[in-house]
């Protein structure tokens, strides 16, 4: 009797496992009555913009009958997921190295950056978000390393986006005519003043609006979104800052509609929606319709060596300059 029960239970469990495995392995196919389906794998910040842009695209002749599957998470996670096999027709990331990873994996054509606008879909700049009314009178990069100023910026090893912040701080020094050593020393001071290194830019914003810190190094679009949502913060665009460029790419396997969608993203209608959500449009004409301040000392990642060089020089987990600075700071705080 007991053996029979064991047998039944075992077979039942085995059957259950098979069902679960089949369920997990199956491809989630798009519901709806569309003729074709596109999968957009994107980082999370522009989700609201895409939720307006996709219906607008579906109203055009190219986008008729196209269904969308959308996935949003942090840029690095999404890039790794696609590398590991998550199906994607279009990828939108917060920084270029996340696309490069897919080029290396053979999933995105190597010439993706030869496309319009060098493969970029939105721009932004790194800004200094401060408390309402700017009580600590933060105007320049130097102000954030003054005595008693607490800085919030995400952990550069967990957040790809945080790398924009630190490269902005570094590059601004170079732009001001300082030497490389002085610029690295400035990075050191910034990290010394950093009280919290959240895992992502989104969480850093929450930490800041939750009452911690005096300055949040942030992207202009995130600061604008926060203000639009009624958060109590101001932001300062420093004279020298980095132009953030967010790439979009079509994968090797993607259908023709995927390219049509990317063209639409870079077209005036979608660019305007991005602009309303706080991003700087890459389309100059559309950009002109908004009054985004033009910092006098604006520079790009290429001016500080380009992503490939920057990733090795600054953000290698063991040998990068930032890893070394943090190790030095750690040792001094542990002994002190």
Partner 1 sequence: MPQKAAPGGLPLGRSFATAYLGLIVLIPLAAVAWRSTEGGAGGFWRAISSPAAVSSLKLTFVCSLVVVAINAVTGTLIAWVLVRDSFRGKAIVNSLIDLPFALPTIVAGLTLLALYGPKGPIGINVAYTRAAIILALLFVTLPFVVRSVQPVLLELDREMEEAAASLGASSLSIFRRIVLPNLMPAILSGVALAFARSIGEFGSVILISGNIPFQTEVASVHIFSQIESDDVTGAAAVSVLLLVISFVSLLAIDTFRKWGSKHEE
Question: In the complex with partner 1, which residue's Cβ is closer, 119 or 156?
Answer: 156
> If DSSP states are collapsed to H, E and C, what string results for 128-144?
EEEECCCCCCCCCHHHH
Site for partner 1 in 137-156 (CB under 8 A): 155
Partners of 41 in the β-ladder: 71, 91
Per CB under 8 A, the segment of 167-175, 286-294, 296-304, 313-321 that binds partner 1 is 313-321
Cα dist from 144 to 47, 80, 137, 147, 222, whole Å: 31, 34, 10, 9, 19
For partner 1, the closer of residues 60 and 209 by Cβ is 209
159 binds partner 1 (CB under 8 A): yes
Total site size for partner 1, rule CB under 8 A: 39
**Interacting residues with partner 1 between 218 and 257 (CB under 8 A):** none
Run of H or E residues at 127: strand 120-131
Q: Given the rule CB under 8 A, which of 137-145, 253-261, 297-305, 309-317 is the region that contacts partner 1?
A: 309-317
For residues 162 and 304, which CB has a smaller minimum distance to partner 1 in the complex? 162
> Is position 312 an interface residue for partner 1 (rule: CB under 8 A)?
no
C-alpha–C-alpha distance, residues 264 and 148, integer Å? 47
Residues 273-302 that bind partner 1 (CB under 8 A): none
List 73, 103, 287, 329, residue binding partner 1 (CB under 8 A): 329
Binding of partner 1 by 318 (CB under 8 A) = yes
DSSP assignment of 30-81 equals PPSS-SEEEEEEEESTTHHHHHHHHHHHHTSTTTTTEEEEEEEE-HHHHHHH
Residue 72, Cβ neighbours under 10 Å: how many?
A: 16
Residue 17 interacts with partner 1 (CB under 8 A): yes or no: yes
The total number of residues shown for the chain amounts to 336
Say whether residue 94 binds partner 1 (CB under 8 A): no
Closest alpha carbon to 43 in 73, 13, 64, 80: 73
Nearer to partner 1, 110 or 327 (CB): 327
Report d(CA 140, CA 178) in Å as an integer. Answer: 15
317 binds partner 1 per the rule CB under 8 A: yes
106 binds partner 1 (CB under 8 A): no
Return residues touching partner 1 (CB under 8 A).
3, 6-7, 9-11, 13-14, 17, 76, 80, 101, 155, 157-160, 194-199, 203, 210-212, 315-318, 323, 326-327, 329-331, 333-334
């Amino acid at each position: 009797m007991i053996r029979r029960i064991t047998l039944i239970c075992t077979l039942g469990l085995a059957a259950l496992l098979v069902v679960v495995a089949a369920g997990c392995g199956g491809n989630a196919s798009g519901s709806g009555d569309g003729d074709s389906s596109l999968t957009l794998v994107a980082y999370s910040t522009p989700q609201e913009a895409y939720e307006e842009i996709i219906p607008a695209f579906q109203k055009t002749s190219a986008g008729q009958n196209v269904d969308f599957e959308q996935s949003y998470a942090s840029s690095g996670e999404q890039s790794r997921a696609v590398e590991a096999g998550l199906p994607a027709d279009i990828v939108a990331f917060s920084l270029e190295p996340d696309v490069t990873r897919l080029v290396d994996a053979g999933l995105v054509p190597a010439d993706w950056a030869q496309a319009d606008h060098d493969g970029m879909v939105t721009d932004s700049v790194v800004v200094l978000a401060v408390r309402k009314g700017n009580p600590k009178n933060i105007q320049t990069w130097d102000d954030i390393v003054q005595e008693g100023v607490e800085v919030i910026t995400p952990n550069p090893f967990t957040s790809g986006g945080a790398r924009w912040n630190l490269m902005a701080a570094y590059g601004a020094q170079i732009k001001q005519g300082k030497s490389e050593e002085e610029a690295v020393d400035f990075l050191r001071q910034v990290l010394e003043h950093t009280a919290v290194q959240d895992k992502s830019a989104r969480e850093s914003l929450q930490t800041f609006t939750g009452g911690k810190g005096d300055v949040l190094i942030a992207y202009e679009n995130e600061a604008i979104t926060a203000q639009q949502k009624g958060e109590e913060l101001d932001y300062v665009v420093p004279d020298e800052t980095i132009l953030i460029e967010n790439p979009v790419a079509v994968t090797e396997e993607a259908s023709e509609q995927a390219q049509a969608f990317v063209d639409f993203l870079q077209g005036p209608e979608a660019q305007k929606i991005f602009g309303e959500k706080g991003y700087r449009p890459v389309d100059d004409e559309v950009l002109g319709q908004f009054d985004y301040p033009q910092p006098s000392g604006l520079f790009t990642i290429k001016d500080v060596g380009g992503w490939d060089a920057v990733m090795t020089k600054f953000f290698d987990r063991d040998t990068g300059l930032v890893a070394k600075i943090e190790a030095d700071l750690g040792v001094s705080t542990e002994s002190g």
